[in-house]
Amino acid sequence: MDGADTAGGAATDAITDLALRYSPGMRKLGCLAAVACCCSGWAAQADRESVDLIVTHGIVVTMDAKRRVIEDGAVVARGDEIVAVGAAGAIAGRYEARRTVDARGGLVMPGLINAHTHMAMSLFRGLAEDRALEEWLKKYIFPAEARNVTAEFVYWGTKLSMLEMLRGGTTTAADMYYFEDDVARAMKEGGMRGVLGETIIGFPAPDNKNEEAAITYTQTYLDHWRGDGLITAAVAPHSIYTCSEELLKRAAELARRNRAPILTHIAEAPTELEQSRKEHGLSPVQYMARIGLLGPDVTGAHCVWVDQADVRTLARFEVGCSFNPSSNMKTAAGLSPVPEMLASGVAVGIGSDGPASNNNQDLFEEMDLGAKLQKFARMDPTSLPAEQTVALATIAGARALHMEKQIGSLEAGKKADLIVVDTTAAHATPMYDAYAQIVYALKASDVRTTIIGGRIVMDERKMLTLDEPAILAKANTYKNQVRASFGH
């Protein structure tokens, strides 16, 4: 019973009590008044619009164009969409929900968007450490994939990553890997949103042994998930150093014929820049532009080794980029010039990269490290301020994936992807500024509730869509397999 019902009931009881103390005429009048009062209450309740979910009484960080922060706010969802965002009191007077989530003591904010990862590589976490990117890839990761990666390996590795991501408030992930149809299957079962790119690479891969097989598989994959509400199937030519020019062009043509996004790695390491200049006489960005790969359907991972001309080219072609601070630090790949890209109009999101090169998928940690790295590199504490950093993980990340009309902020008409983050722990108390708290104080473990498309997938830290014990047990089984494949 809500406040209006309680008040109406109290008024009815008071009138009835008065009526019983006086004459029969007064009793009759009292009964009529009681009926009128009840009818008024019923009418008020009937006037309220029926919805599926209200998340209420939290500090709502909208990330909309006005950057509204509503101290005692609420978000309303019907089906998979947001229908209203506003003050909790006003929302209570307008809507009646089948389910209400009490967000007291927490921030309500858009679900986080991981703009670049390789989810199934969670099963390679910690396999090869403290090595340069080229050595790490060619001597360890590519051989490990050739010996171990199957459809089921990918399915369970994706589930392990989902478990970590959903617990940490990530509601959308842009993934690049093999057997991407099984990545999509796992994510659909767990209720997570994804832009999922089938990797096309210029040598025999675990799922496809030649280029023709890769193109055929990818077309079937795109057809399978076309029009799905959670899964956006994409094409992912790995990079300019693993794909021939002809293969890059074929992958781009396949994507555009199917109106699918393109995910790829761009200018990640100095060796890539050197090789591109040697073989093509151009930087990776300029080479991609020359062969027709770049466009407003492309999201490039890393974008580290880019100069001002490259940044202008990325902006002109409306390419989104993902900033992956932990991975780039760990492999000593370099630091992406995020402030310069943002100033030039490039859409930049934030990503974890794969859990074999990070080694986690904690976007709260990525926000914290990303902001501090930019400040430290420039010796300028005003670089990449907290509000702008939160945007990288929400609305700017959505722009980098070309999905800003669907996700990234809490606004009517967008998908109901949101999280409740607890702010009552010692490390989160007191709070003066919500953006600073998100970036510098809060942790992935503070996430209480995760909602995707209006569906609660984690409720007060209890997973509802994933079998956590089974996933962890399967991961340890695969660990023994991977170790054995290297003769350990």
Residue boundaries of the structural domains of the chain: 1-47, 110-468
Choose between 280 and 29: higher pLDDT: 280
> Which residues contact residue 59 at a Cβ distance below 8 angstroms, ignoring those fewer than 6 apart?
69, 70, 71, 72, 73, 106, 107, 108, 423, 434
- pLDDT, tens digit (0-9, with 9 covering 90-100), for 417-470: 999 999 999 999 999 999 999 999 999 999 999 999 999 999 999 999 999 999
- pLDDT, tens digit (0-9, with 9 covering 90-100), for 150-177: 999 999 999 999 999 999 999 999 999 9
Ranges 38-42, 112-116, 354-358, 363-367: which has the least confidence: 38-42
C-alpha 444/C-alpha 19 separation (Å) is 59
Provide the 3-class DSSP secondary structure of residue 150.
Answer: coil
C-alpha 205/C-alpha 475 separation (Å) is 22
pLDDT band at 375; cut points 50, 70, 90:
very high
- pLDDT, tens digit (0-9, with 9 covering 90-100), for 260-303: 999 999 999 999 999 999 999 999 999 999 999 999 999 999 99
Task: Find the mean pLDDT for residues 1-11.
Answer: 39
| Beta pairing, strands 455-459 & 112-117 | unpaired
Instruction: State whether CATH 1.10.10.10 applies to domain 110-468.
Output: no
- Is pLDDT of 3 > 70? no
Written as six digits, the tokens of 488 are: 């350990």
pLDDT band at 136; cut points 50, 70, 90:
confident
> pTM of this prediction?
0.90
For residue 46, the model assigns a pLDDT of 59
